[in-house]
Structure 1
Amino acid sequence: SRHLSLSHLPKKTSKSSRNIHRLSSDIRSKNMNIFAKKPTAKEALRESKRDMANATRGVEREITTLQLEEKKLVAEIKRTAKTGNEAATKILARQLVRLRQQIANLQGSRAQMRGVSIHTQAMAAQSSVGVGMKGASKAMAAMNKQMAPAKQAKVIQEFQKQSAQMDMTTEMMSDAIDDALDNDEAEEETEELTNQVLDEIGVDVASQLSAAPKGKIAGKKTEDVSSSNIDELEKRLAALRNP
């Protein structure tokens, strides 16, 4: 009995070690799946398209193979019919019907897979549109935040205030310039009138001086004429000041 128990011990140990090794492998694979990075939508779409393309190619190869078998079966049916074996011809005809049904089913599956692929691409496009709309919504929210009604009203009020101040300053400067120009014009008009009066007086004085006698005897007359001319000038200037 000891010999039997010892002989069975290595087998049990070997089997247990294999089970432990298999269990540890499963645990490692599960842990790897847990910590594996989740694929993005673009990666998932790429993988789906690749799998769908591989499946479609496999179905197309199967359809091509069955179509070749169909041609062979049609040729065999013709040869059998020529021999006059009606039973064999009917059996081959039933096989041809089943074969064509299989081809039709595979063609339908191929069309469905293509439809799924197109639908997946459309969903990806819609997802891209959604991502774009999400980005646009964020941008619009940021702009709306910057262009809040309260802030815009404050900006408009400040603009109106500064604009009013600028208008007042411009008006004051315009008035000052107009006043200065008006004073200049008044001074120019007064100076022109004074020059006209002085010209008239100068002519009279010059004529009177040229007509006055020379020498000491005429000295008193000259003084009287000069004083009278000065009095007349003062009267004219007073008349200009008080029209």
Structure 2
Amino acid sequence: MNIFGKKPTLEEQMKENDRSLRRVNRGVTRDRNQLEREEKKLEDDIRKSAKAGNKEALTVLAKQLVQVRKQKTRTFVASSKISSAGAQARAMHANVKMAGAMGTATKTMSNVNKQISPQDLARTMQEFTKESTKMDMSEELINDTLDDILNESGDEEESDAIVTRVLDEIGIEISGKLANAPSAHRGALDEKSKTKVTDEDIEKVLAQLRTHE
């Protein structure tokens, strides 16, 4: 618990664990450095005792050196275990976070499933389809009604303009086909197509085209 009496969060606990492991590891490293200094001193003392021919001192110093080296080896093992513990703690922390995320996702999906039932969704889609069909039918009916009103409006000038434009387009198309249409009277029709295409010309060309389809 923190200073406010509240239970620490997972993140806070993880940070505190990391700090503790780093402190312990620094302590182990300091001990190893001290042992290495002691190891070097013993090695120097052993050399001096060997030169002096002091066998008794040499034996004692050699035993101490063996113990120091064993202790130094233990510090390496301890550092390795501390690092492993930190890695395991971080892996556990990641797994807990992942489990929490999956739990949140599961709760969200459960809430959505509670709010939306397949039956209601199916009815909604059916209603949408029905209303959309009605709207299409209404639009078609309105368009037909407007077309009838506009066609019966008596606006002869606009109607004549539309007819004239369409006939001009047909005349150009018919004139083009007229030049290539096989006929004994092609020469006469070609002369007419250069000036104006009449209804009679159109009927003749259509008849010729039907004959040679």
How many Å separate the matches in 1 of 2:95 and 2:87? 12
Output the CA distance in 2 between the equivalents of 1:129 and 1:114. 23
Say yes or no: does 1:129 pair with 2:98.
yes
Separation (CA, whole Å) in 2 of partners of 1:147 and 1:59: 60
Q: CA RMSD in A?
A: 2.4
- Which residue pairs with 1:66 in the alignment? 35
Q: How far apart are 1:88 and its partner, in Å? A: 2.9
1:166 aligned onto 2:135:
yes
1:116 corresponding residue in structure 2: 85
CA-CA distance at 1:94 after TM superposition: 2.3
Match of 2:122 among 147, 153, 166: 153
Post-superposition shift, 1:156? Answer: 0.5
- How many equivalent residue pairs? 154
The one-letter code sitting in structure 2 at the alignment partner of 1:117 is: G
In the TM superposition, what whole-angstrom CA distance separates every residue of 1:80-104 from its partner, at most 9, and x where no partner exists? Answer: 1111233432332222122101100
2:11 pairs with 1:42? yes
Match 2:47 to one of 78, 81, 90: 78
Provide the rounded CA distance (Å) in 1 between the counterparts of 2:69 and 2:35: 8
Amino acid at match of 1:69: E
Could you say which residue in structure 1 is the equivalent of 2:148? 179
Q: Counterpart in 1 of 2:68?
A: 99
Structure 2, unpaired ranges of 5+:
161-213
SS in structure 1 at match of 2:152? helix
What CA distance in whole angstroms lies between the structure 1 residues aligned with 2:40 and 2:116? 75
1:54 lines up with 2:23 in the alignment: yes
Listed one character per residue, the Cα deviations across residues 133-191 of structure 1 (whole Å, up to 9, x for unaligned) are: 22222223333344432222121011112101101111111221232234346x849xx
Q: What is the TM-score normalised by the length of structure 1? A: 0.56
Secondary structure of 2:75 counterpart: helix
Match of 1:138 in 2: 107
Identity %: 37
User: 1: distance between equivalents of 2:47 and 2:55?
Assistant: 11
**Quick check: which one's helix share is greater?**
1
Secondary structure in 2 matching 1:61: helix
Q: Return the alpha-carbon distance in structure 2 between the equivalents of residues 76 and 95 of structure 1.
A: 11
- For residues 51-73 of structure 1, the C-alpha deviation after alignment (integer angstroms, 9 at most, x for no partner) is 22222222111111111100100
Task: Render the CA deviation track for 1:21-67: whole Å, top value 9, x for unaligned.
Answer: xxxxxxxxxxxxxxx65443333323322322222222111111111
Query: What letter matches 2:82 in structure 1?
Result: M
Q: Give the aligned residue type for 1:92.
A: L
